[in-house]
Amino acid sequence: MATEIRVPTLGESVTEATVGQWYKQAGDAVTADEPLVELETDKVTVEVPAPASGVLSEIIVKAGDTVAVGSLLGAIAEGDGKVKPAPVKAAAATPQPAPAPAAAKPSEPAKLKPAALEREPSPREEVSGNGNGNGAGKVDMPPSPAARKYLAETGLSPASVVGTGRRGQVLKQDVLAQAAGVATAAASLLAREPKPKAPPAPRPPIAPQDETREERVRMTRLRQTIARRLKEAQDTAAMLTTFNDVDMSAVMQLRREYREAFEKKHGVKLGLMGFFVKACVQALKDIPAVNAEIDGTDIIYKNYYHIGVAVGTERGLVVPVLRDADRMSLAEIEAAIADFGTRAREGRLGLEEMQGGTFTISNGGIYGSLLSTPILNAPQSGILGMHRIEERAVVRDGQIVARPMMYLALSYDHRLVDGKEAVTFLIQVKEAIEDPKRLVLDL
């Protein structure tokens, strides 16, 4: 008996995936829990293991196909060696001819359709409906000749027009008024319908000698999702960025003094991200709008602090979330970030680990970025951008000295966060980093 291989549940709001690659070919022996096929979702890559040991007897979908949750991927037959692969199933079964309708019994009398009994009423006959203008009943007077003409042209029924003439007679102006109302309602409905997006402009022609030196590669689902979400954030939010610089002397001195003792006790290196996560959580408590989001006409203030940490991988950018970061110690934050980085590069992050963030921190400084304007991670209202540290000349106590400085950038949704709140938030982060004792004292 064959065992089916189906698409597993992929996580909240994820309903489909793209088949990346098959690790086995039809006819290959497989063992239970051995990875068989790679699926690419909007956020992560998932490996589907073999549900049983045997022989991969059939592959239903090929690399590049889109599959829904629960879809059949293939089948595993009993055995331990090469078997003849099953033929590929047809996309659709051959339609069976419909059975011929049964002949009517001679003894049954032919039934007359109601339409056969209908006839056009004469002008003087009573017409049932609402044409008398008082809700229901009979109309003593038929529509006027001019009204009948316009009724025929507009396709309106006499019962749908309120007559203002004698004894409720429908007049020409009544039909025109009703037709105008219908047209206005239809135009209003059309205006409320979302307009289809214009198709992307075609790629301009290129020189033949250049075309042979180009390579066209299909975007992965993760890259498509990143592109779509970043563009949606720009189109939806009133995004603005404010900047400041921070003197990293105190934090770097603290790291030099306690790096070895910290790593010996906690088994993790003392980095910079832990200090910034702590500083942001403290600032978010004082400026709650930066930790909120807009839902329709409501503002949702979140009294919890799930901090997303952007991690770059070969496949693209992912943002795992430190849940309840306000309850985590510095060592727990550093350990979690190190674990996120390792598993992100190996493609082993779970979908649930990248959902529910309330604020994001992106460190472009590890790539050498001097200054940037980070894009919001919708529906969040704020994202902090860190940058590289470099020695710069600054004035301290009237003296020009060299200090390790970093530019900070806070992008925020101006629909929700005012400029004063954004600047205050960034200054609080700056002050906490320049004087780390404030983090300990919760100042």
Q: Which residues are catalytic, by number? A: 414, 418
- The DSSP bridge partners found for residue 74 are 5, 59
Residues composing the chain: 443
- SS3 (DSSP) at 258: helix
* Strand order from edge to edge, sheet including 72-77: 3-6, 72-77, 54-59, 29-30
- The DSSP bridge partners found for residue 127 are 139
User: 366: Cβ–Cβ under 8 A, 6 or more apart, which residues?
Assistant: none
122: its two tokens: 């004469």
Among left, alpha and beta (phi > 0; psi -120 to 50; other), residue 117 is alpha
- SS3 (DSSP) at 90: coil
**What angle, 0 to 180 degrees and rounded to 10, lies between the N-to-C axes of helices 249-266 and 330-345?**
80
User: 424: Cβ–Cβ under 8 A, 6 or more apart, which residues?
Assistant: 286, 287
- SS3 (DSSP) at 163: coil
**Residue 443 and residue 282: Cα distance in Å, rounded?**
8
61: its two tokens: 């979908």
**Residue 336 and residue 260: Cα distance in Å, rounded?**
19
**Residue 52 and residue 1: Cα distance in Å, rounded?**
11
Residue type, 136: A
- SS3 (DSSP) at 99: coil
**Among candidates 169, 251, 193, 289, which has minimal Cα distance to 432?**
251
User: 125: Cβ–Cβ under 8 A, 6 or more apart, which residues?
Assistant: 142
**Among candidates 361, 347, 339, 352, which has minimal Cα distance to 315?**
347
